[in-house]
Structure 1
Amino acid sequence: MKQKNQLALQQQYPDLYNRLQQELSDSIALRVEKTKNGMDTVVALHNGQEMYVHSRYQPEHEAEQWVHLLPQEVEVLVIIGMGLGYSLSWLARRYSNQTIIIIEPDMAMFRKATECRDLSVYLQNERFVFLVGQESYVTAHILAEYMIQNKLTFSQLCIASPPVYQRLYPDIVGELQARIADKLAELQVQEATYAYFARTWLVTTIKNAGYLSQHPSAHLIKEKLKGLPVIIAAAGPSLTKNIHLLKQAEDKALIIGVGSAINILEKHQIRPHIIMALDSAESEKNVFVNFSDTSPLLVYTHSLHPDAVAGYSGQKAWVKLKEDSIIGYICSRLNMDYLEIVDGPSVANVAFDFAIRGLRASAVLLVGQDLAYTDNRYHAAGAVHDSSAHALREEQLKGYTLTRDIYGAPVYTSRAFIAMKNFFEIYMKYEKPNIPVYNCTEGGIPLTGIPNIPLAQALEQFGMQSYPIREWIHKAVSGWDECDAVPLHSLWEELQREADILVSLSARRIRELQRLLPVSPDFSAGFARVAALTEEIDKNELYHNMIVPHVQWMVEASTRNVHHTTAHIIDEQEKKKLFVIELLRQYEEIHEYIILLQRALEENAYGTE
């Protein structure tokens, strides 16, 4: 039995198998006993008292009763706590087509289950997913990623936990439920944000791509700056506590100012070496309108508001975000090198990866990274936003989450801040940077995996040597010969011609689909023509690299909508009609994106060189 489970784990969950061999300590004392009917149960010692995880008489019957109390109309079932696994067979029967995600917070409990019962059939079943012994924020992240990759909807997700787990592991279960809820809320916000900004990002990226022949990639500076300690200054309210210390660090550490922090730093006569920006919103342009210092290097992504790029008169360099397929595709056609960094919910998150992987910093110190409304404030005094330094009233804080700061005091935070916090914690967990990383904010909410120390202590530890950092950056960027840059004009003309072809194919597809309404006897033949055009469009490189990343969220939402709308309709003609209507809406929206791309490329073709 145990051997069968180990073999299944080796094949399906090799990482979990390895952890099972290494992690031998029990989180709580566990003992296996025989029940009255000869089956196994587990006795757990909890707060000095023994507690049975399963019935002492009929554990299988108990599991059956509990499973039948769960709602059946769900697409994804998340179970926190499996004990010895008696519920698995009943879950498999009751939810014969659904995805079942089993979260077992206690590695010791899972080990007992593999020793007592044959779980191999469930470990090998693709409908079952096992997440065992992970920190709550990691579990929430893995769960979210799994659902995204498998195009599963969050609207019909059910999270349940056996009552005994709520008594045995109340803190763990509560934390898991909260983390999962936060992650799901974060993804819903991301989907809504993408729906709102996707068109803007498409046009903005194409427009900023016109600067590829004018500004170098930031990979030019990485060797010059390799191995320096880096301070990332954000605009959180606690920045006022230690901003004065940054003045003495100007030649001892590379200072990166992000977001509205650059205005605050300037008001305190602190000149960061690099300022980073990526936001396409109009407010980001205002940050630069109110920023007069031209000594920092602006490192930007192509999602930045074009007026912010054009309006800054200091030196500039760009980085490619990992998810930016448009810039990746253009650079591949131009055979251009670039520095790629991961995307994140905030520019501070992006700067974090830029410092660690891009510049290979010797240490990273975070300041102004409250990720909370410390003293009921948005930002430290001096941010570009007029209301940012004003304390929020109680009624304004409704809808925010009350948590604890690094000192244990109550503080409000938001879903957006939690998403940024999750990024830092997941990054530390999986990237495992082999350098000191400290949170020197001296306020705000804690970041798991990043110790808190005062900035003064950190500067004493890492920032004693002086470096000509500003000179190094200037020489590296000035050494890039703009005359050697690949001319873009011919590429824009090529891409424009390819976009014209794509527009024609897309318009034909819509016309063919419109002919299928009302549903007629030759539906199959008509739909075959639509499918052929769709296949031709999908194979188009321009479509694959420049359109698909911006419409994927909409396509997946549309597909889910079709499934929900037609799932209970018996009449085939009605099903076909609803299917065509939804598909037509999807293809018309995709066509709008293709037209946007065509126009943006046309503007670049007439506006470059």
Structure 2
Amino acid sequence: MQSINLERLQESIEIWMQSFPKEAILLHGVEDSRLQFVFAEDGSLNLMRKTKEGESYFHNQKSPLNEALEWAYSLKLTNETVVYIYGIGLGYYYEALHDWLKEDPERAIVFMEDDLSVLKMAFSTSEVQKILKDDQVRVIYFQNLADADEAFDPLYWDFVMTQMSVSALQYYANERRDQFVELKQKIVYDASIRNGLVEEYLKHGISFFRNYYQNLLLVSESWKGDELFGKFHGIPAIICGAGPSLDKNVEELRNLLDRALVFGGGSAMNALSSRGILPHFGIGIDPNPTQQFRLSTNKAYEVPLFYRNRMHHEAFKLVHGPRLYIYGAGGYDIADWFDERFGLQGEWIDEGHNVVNFGIELAIRMGCNPIILTGVDLAYTGMLAYAKGVVDETAIEEEVLKTDDFDTTAMLKKDIYGEPIYTLWKWIAESNWIGDFAKEHRSTEIVNCTEGGLGMPGVRNMTLKDAKERYMKRRFDLKSWVRGEILSAAMPGLTQERVFEEVEFFKESLIRSRDHLDVLIEDSKDLKKKVENEERIPQILQSGLAALSELELSEEPGYEYLLDLFNNIYSRILNKELHRIKTDSEDPCKMVVLKSTLNIKRLQFLKEVAEVNIQIIDFAVQERKKSLVGA
């Protein structure tokens, strides 16, 4: 039996400490007497864990390398750039993928391990030490999935918009199947969310700004939604989702409209209004065209709607009831500038993952207590996707659960009754958000009265009937109360003319920003050309005019509240290329040329963002003025 090489272990720990300092220090004190090195039949090293059932080997005991080679072949890698592997073992999977990895410097392998004792054993081997020294490989430690975001989040940025494969050490795939399935779901889901956001930014944010400016130009006709904050202390709130379990509570809900504030967001408005139930409030933050279809087919046009300007602009125009503006716009800073100019700014509000999460945030700020959830299945309860009234066909086919798209492939979990139920990773994330929110707001009781579905960690389950007997004994004239509070929430002297003026001011700032970017682009081109022609680096890398333009650009509202966000995103995307330039290029002149090329690329992208916004503003203003003439 081979013992741990302490000298090599210390060298490995020092390398790994650069990425995981706290965990690296802990490795010295980690002990697991069940783990030991053994030799496979072909004489190579293997790792074995003693269990009650016997001996478990981390690699095939006949030949660890052959197992790894067969695994690598089974991946059928084509366009993938990064391979995530759950379990590091003794590094044989790295050896099996080594040739593939070195064919392209853009490729990467990420080993993910949740057992420090395994890492300690692995770090003492020469093969794993080679892994730690390879710039194309990461070794990530996570204690559990709930706390894995800190370790995984940088990876999503480093490998954004790339193809991936998520696999596992064969031993882990067999012995820890459930953990692996959840880990794979999480990585694919989180990466797709990040990719979706970055893709939106790389497309200059057109889908957001198209909604934002058109809705912004209507803000003077809205009411201040945050004026309702703190006005309903101790009043129960019922947040309705559109899950299939809503059907069993429709009649109970009908009798609670004078006992609790009822919120319906998105599809839930259709499910409720199709049964003749009009909630006290609707919620609109969905930027997608489906929001327009859903609003056009429900009967709740007059229901007061909490909204943000990212809501689909055509859907927004269908709202006939009071529009209750909520400051901010998830993921974009531009709303902060306009909110401040109009006197509408307030404390940051997290949208969460969907309208239910946002509804919980709003209800707690309004002073509601308890907050009761119904129709929030977060699962395919009874093999149904929605409650009745949302879509014509709510049942799902079993084939839907077995799609090739892992992001939308359902997984089996246990529902609130301990029975198996199909859910998606995005719903698990939403469930965890509610559980975390409840933990952070213990003074407000959050109760799940869905009576089915996935449930939320730490949130009490109860029938809606029991919740009524416990929390909703008093009656209120809530319809009149809501109407009165809205009438007291007028915009603070905000006129249509003022909105036009501020939008024009911001557009002019974008035009000046674009002009400054032109100066910086030309200056970078001149530097690049000069170094290429003269093969030397000038003492002054930036002209006085460019330096002044850079300073003035940074002070423009159009840059600070819009372009700077895109600059940060694009710079992070270019970081890998910049790192490669610094690593691969030993010629100082060549390095300056390559860095100038990247800088020009970044500046041109920012110029495009400015131009897109200028055009969208012009169109939105033109459309708004047309509507005023026709009014």
1:10 to 1:580, Cα distance in 2 relative to 1, 3 A: closer
Is residue 2:607 matched to residue 1:596?
A: no
Partner residue in 2 for 1:432:
439
Partner residue in 2 for 1:80:
86
Partner residue in 2 for 1:246:
253
Structure 1 CA distance, aligned partners of 2:195 and 2:314?
29
- Deviation of 1:235 after TM superposition, in Å, equals 1.9
Q: Secondary structure at the match of 1:238?
A: helix
1:230 to 1:101, Cα distance in 2 relative to 1, 3 A: farther
Deviation per CA, 1:217-272, whole angstroms, max 9, x where unpaired?
32211211244332221222332222222112222222110112212212222221
Partner residue in 1 for 2:346:
338
1:132 to 1:558, Cα distance in 2 relative to 1, 3 A: closer
Structure 2 CA distance, aligned partners of 1:19 and 1:238?
47
Match of 1:547 among 560, 563, 567: 563
The one-letter code of the counterpart of 1:498 is S
Give the stretch that moved more between structures: 564-573 or 73-82: 564-573
1:602 to 1:315, Cα distance in 2 relative to 1, 3 A: closer
Partner residue in 2 for 1:349:
357
- Deviation of 1:298 after TM superposition, in Å, equals 0.9
Is residue 2:156 matched to residue 1:145?
A: no
- Deviation of 1:328 after TM superposition, in Å, equals 1.0
Structure 2 CA distance, aligned partners of 1:44 and 1:359?
55
**Partners of 2:563 and 2:610 within 8 A in 1:** no
**Partners of 2:274 and 2:298 within 8 A in 1:** no
1:42 to 1:253, Cα distance in 2 relative to 1, 3 A: farther
Structure 1 CA distance, aligned partners of 2:257 and 2:138?
53
Structure 2 CA distance, aligned partners of 1:162 and 1:340?
43
The one-letter code of the counterpart of 2:271 is I
- Deviation of 1:33 after TM superposition, in Å, equals 6.1
Match of 2:279 among 259, 272, 285: 272
- Deviation of 1:322 after TM superposition, in Å, equals 4.6
Structure 2 CA distance, aligned partners of 1:404 and 1:62?
32
Q: Secondary structure at the match of 1:255?
A: strand
Is residue 2:264 matched to residue 1:257?
A: yes
Partner residue in 2 for 1:441:
450
* Aligned residue runs from structure 1 range 247-396, under 5 A: 247-293=254-300, 296-319=303-326, 320-338=328-346, 340-356=348-364, 358-359=365-366, 361-374=368-381, 377-383=384-390, 387-389=391-393, 391-392=395-396
Give the stretch that moved more between structures: 448-457 or 102-111: 102-111
* Aligned residue runs from structure 1 range 208-247, under 5 A: 208-247=215-254
Structure 2 CA distance, aligned partners of 1:424 and 1:480?
33
Match of 1:466 among 461, 475, 478: 475
1:87 to 1:291, Cα distance in 2 relative to 1, 3 A: closer
The one-letter code of the counterpart of 2:155 is M
1:15 to 1:242, Cα distance in 2 relative to 1, 3 A: farther
The one-letter code of the counterpart of 1:543 is Y
Structure 2 CA distance, aligned partners of 1:4 and 1:226?
60
Structure 1 CA distance, aligned partners of 2:51 and 2:555?
59
**Partners of 2:507 and 2:558 within 8 A in 1:** no
Match of 2:513 among 502, 516, 519: 502
The one-letter code of the counterpart of 2:469 is E
- Deviation of 1:291 after TM superposition, in Å, equals 4.3
Listed as ranges, the gaps of 5+ residues in structure 1 are none
Partner residue in 2 for 1:456:
465
1:398 to 1:107, Cα distance in 2 relative to 1, 3 A: closer
Give the stretch that moved more between structures: 170-179 or 547-556: 547-556
**Partners of 1:199 and 1:550 within 8 A in 2:** no
- Deviation of 1:545 after TM superposition, in Å, equals 1.0
Structure 1 CA distance, aligned partners of 2:491 and 2:433?
39
- Deviation of 1:455 after TM superposition, in Å, equals 3.0
Partner residue in 2 for 1:521:
533
Partner residue in 1 for 2:3:
none
**Partners of 2:244 and 2:385 within 8 A in 1:** yes
- Deviation of 1:521 after TM superposition, in Å, equals 1.9
Match of 1:49 among 54, 73, 82: 54
TM-score by length of 2: 0.71
Partner residue in 1 for 2:114:
105
Deviation per CA, 1:19-50, whole angstroms, max 9, x where unpaired?
99xxx9x9xx85466879xxx99874535324
- Deviation of 1:55 after TM superposition, in Å, equals 11
- Deviation of 1:199 after TM superposition, in Å, equals 0.8
1:431 to 1:113, Cα distance in 2 relative to 1, 3 A: farther
**Partners of 1:209 and 1:327 within 8 A in 2:** no
Partner residue in 1 for 2:42:
none
1:295 to 1:14, Cα distance in 2 relative to 1, 3 A: farther
- Deviation of 1:318 after TM superposition, in Å, equals 1.7
Deviation per CA, 1:384-423, whole angstroms, max 9, x where unpaired?
xxx543545566666242333626777665xxx5324313
* Aligned residue runs from structure 1 range 61-76, under 5 A: none
**Aligned pair count?**
586
1:295 to 1:584, Cα distance in 2 relative to 1, 3 A: closer
Structure 2 CA distance, aligned partners of 1:187 and 1:193?
10
Deviation per CA, 1:488-538, whole angstroms, max 9, x where unpaired?
454334323323312333455566678899996279789956975567545
TM-score by length of 1: 0.73
Deviation per CA, 1:178-203, whole angstroms, max 9, x where unpaired?
33233323433444456569213113
Q: Secondary structure at the match of 1:521?
A: helix
Partner residue in 1 for 2:179:
172
Deviation per CA, 1:512-568, whole angstroms, max 9, x where unpaired?
678899996279789956975567545533123123446765665566689899999
Partner residue in 1 for 2:144:
134
Structure 1 CA distance, aligned partners of 2:354 and 2:582?
39
1:599 to 1:6, Cα distance in 2 relative to 1, 3 A: same
Structure 1 CA distance, aligned partners of 2:122 and 2:396?
51
The one-letter code of the counterpart of 2:183 is L
Structure 1 CA distance, aligned partners of 2:139 and 2:586?
32
Q: Secondary structure at the match of 1:592?
A: helix
Give the stretch that moved more between structures: 479-488 or 224-233: 479-488
1:194 to 1:397, Cα distance in 2 relative to 1, 3 A: farther
Partner residue in 2 for 1:478:
487
1:107 to 1:276, Cα distance in 2 relative to 1, 3 A: farther
1:550 to 1:366, Cα distance in 2 relative to 1, 3 A: farther
1:591 to 1:516, Cα distance in 2 relative to 1, 3 A: farther
1:104 to 1:441, Cα distance in 2 relative to 1, 3 A: same
Structure 1 CA distance, aligned partners of 2:348 and 2:421?
35
